[in-house]
Amino acid sequence: MQFDRLVPEMRRLALEAGARIMQVYDGPDFDVRAKSDASPVTEADEAADALIAAGLRAAFPGVPLVTEEQADTHGQTLSTFLIVDPLDGTKEFVQRRGDFTVNIAYVRDGVPLHGVVYAPARGRLFYTLADGRSVEERGPFGAQPGEVHPIGVNPTPDNRGLMVVASKSHRDAATDDYIAQYGVRDMTSAGSSLKFCLVATGEADLYPRLGRTMEWDTAAGDAVLRGAGGEVVRLDDHSPLTYGKPGFENPFFIAYAPGVLLHPQG
């Protein structure tokens, strides 16, 4: 894979999908349907999925592609592939809260090496460069990259007072119980894969997820966080989170800056 070609293509498709999503978001109304797993889907999800999938298949025809909205891809077991969540945070989108993202990632041998996370309503764009380092690009966003700033996790988190980020839509007692094991200075909530990005920029130190997620929910944010010096591990044994699992379902996990002293579950 030529990463100097992959990264600009992922960035371009994320921006185009984001623009299409915002057309729906800023419109007067849109339909919301329930998928087979009871999660919501809108015309914005489907339009962004079709746009990104067509672009990736045209640019990288030999690379397997997995997307949230194309169920025919979900029965595969893969080690190297592209994976897409065209609109992560549909609940935030439906409620017009703004914390939704476009996620595109490249996984090799189970590791998310490259990713782009674009939050069009927030005007925030994060991605990995060809060499694997992560950056945040400042808008306005055009065909060519604009002002790009390297990002990195908090190098010296204070374990007596951590900044913790948790889900807006999936917060529960188990998550609160886990967080209670830590010294917490403050907490913030964010939707979608933005939580990974807040750890990647040092705006948060710890993001635990004790709930169901799929690989397309996490791969791009995981890649951005790893490229910023962070880590994502399983909650049960603190081994690295891997990709290409049967069914593409994740275990519970922790995303964090390496200076955070992790606690076991429970």
DSSP classification of residue 186: E
Least confident of 68-77, 142-151, 211-220: 68-77
Q: Which tops the pLDDT comparison, 34 or 232?
A: 232
Q: What is the pLDDT of residue 28?
A: 74
Query: What does the pLDDT average to over 117-144?
Result: 94
Does pLDDT of 171 surpass 80?
A: no
Domain ranges of the chain: 3-150, 162-256
In 140-230, alpha helices (H): 173-179, 194-200, 215-227
Q: What is the pLDDT of residue 33?
A: 63
Nearest partner of 18 among 107, 164, 123, judged by Cα: 123
d(CA 206, CA 179): 9
Does pLDDT of 38 surpass 60?
A: no
d(CA 7, CA 2): 9
Q: What is the pLDDT of residue 196?
A: 97
97-122 pLDDT, tens digit each: 888 999 999 999 999 999 999 999 99
What b/e string do you get for 163-185 counting C-beta neighbours within 10 Å, with b at 16 or more?
bbbbbbeeeeeebeebbeebeee
Residue pair 14/87 in contact by the 8 Å Cβ criterion:
no
CATH of domain 162-256: 3.40.190.80
Q: Which tops the pLDDT comparison, 24 or 229?
A: 229
What are the angstrom distances between the C-alpha of 208 and each of 34, 106, 204, 231, 252? 27, 23, 11, 12, 8
Query: What does the pLDDT average to over 195-201?
Result: 97
pTM: 0.93
145-159 pLDDT, tens digit each: 989 999 999 999 999
Does pLDDT of 168 surpass 70?
A: no
> In the CATH scheme, what is the homologous superfamily, with its name and number, of domain 3-150?
Fructose-1,6-Bisphosphatase, subunit A, domain 1 (3.30.540.10)
Radius of gyration of the chain (CA): 17
